[in-house]
């Protein structure tokens, strides 16, 4: 694990409730492991929710520009956006999003990720709590609610890079 912060209350999600968001996410593979971000506030008892780095698409930017920006904000890495891989409809307790996932490759293959921030939240109210390189085997050992559905039940890194569409 690369970094960690203490958990906080579910009130952090209030800004995202009651509206549809378009989110972008990047799947970065290194040595058989995926770079994932843990988020707080989505699950009870402070349990982390592991998902690929990414975030909201903003007016005036392309989807690829949004992913480059979000990946840099959350991980400190500058990436090139590759092929489109997954479309996922997310819905959970007042939250709703259409999520687009792309393969990403770091501009500097030796650069190390560092836990970034979400500029929409104050320093003490960040949703991101840690970054980690997790293998498919490690993901299978986590409780299913803690793993993003695009990563559920993958058996090898190759499974992630097979394009899919998952609608409820």
The Cα–Cα gap between 97 and 73 comes to: 20
Average pLDDT in the 39-43 region? 81
Buried b (16+ CB within 10 A) or exposed e, 112-132: ebebbebeeeeeeebbbbbbb
The Cα–Cα gap between 11 and 125 comes to: 9
Q: What is the rounded end-to-end Cα distance, in angstroms, of the chain? A: 31
Band of pLDDT at residue 138, cut at 50, 70 and 90: very high
The Cα–Cα gap between 156 and 137 comes to: 8
Band of pLDDT at residue 16, cut at 50, 70 and 90: low
Q: Where are the domains of the chain?
A: 19-166
Higher pLDDT, 72 or 45: 72
User: Domain 19-166 falls in which CATH fold?
Assistant: Nucleoside Triphosphate Pyrophosphohydrolase (3.90.79)
What pLDDT, in 10s, does the model give residues 50-109? 999 999 999 999 999 999 999 999 999 999 999 999 999 977 777 788 999 999 999 999
Band of pLDDT at residue 165, cut at 50, 70 and 90: low
């Amino acid at each position: 694990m690369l970094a960690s912060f203490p958990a906080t209350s579910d009130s952090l999600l209030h800004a995202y409730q009651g509206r549809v968001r378009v989110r972008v996410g990047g799947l970065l593979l290194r040595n058989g492991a995926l770079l994932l971000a843990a988020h707080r506030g989505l699950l009870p008892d402070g349990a982390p929710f592991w998902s690929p780095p990414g975030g909201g698409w903003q007016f005036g930017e392309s989807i690829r520009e949004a992913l480059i920006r979000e990946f840099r904000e959350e991980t400190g890495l500058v990436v090139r956006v590759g092929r489109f891989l997954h479309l996922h409809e997310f819905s959970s307790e007042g939250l709703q999003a259409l999520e687009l996932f792309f393969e990403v490759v770091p501009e500097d293959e030796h650069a190390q990720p560092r836990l970034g921030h979400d500029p929409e939240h104050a320093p003490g109210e960040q949703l991101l709590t840690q970054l980690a390189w997790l293998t498919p085997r490690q993901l299978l050992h986590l409780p299913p609610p803690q793993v993003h559905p695009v990563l559920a039940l993958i058996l090898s890194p190759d499974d992630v890079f097979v394009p899919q569409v998952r609608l409820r």
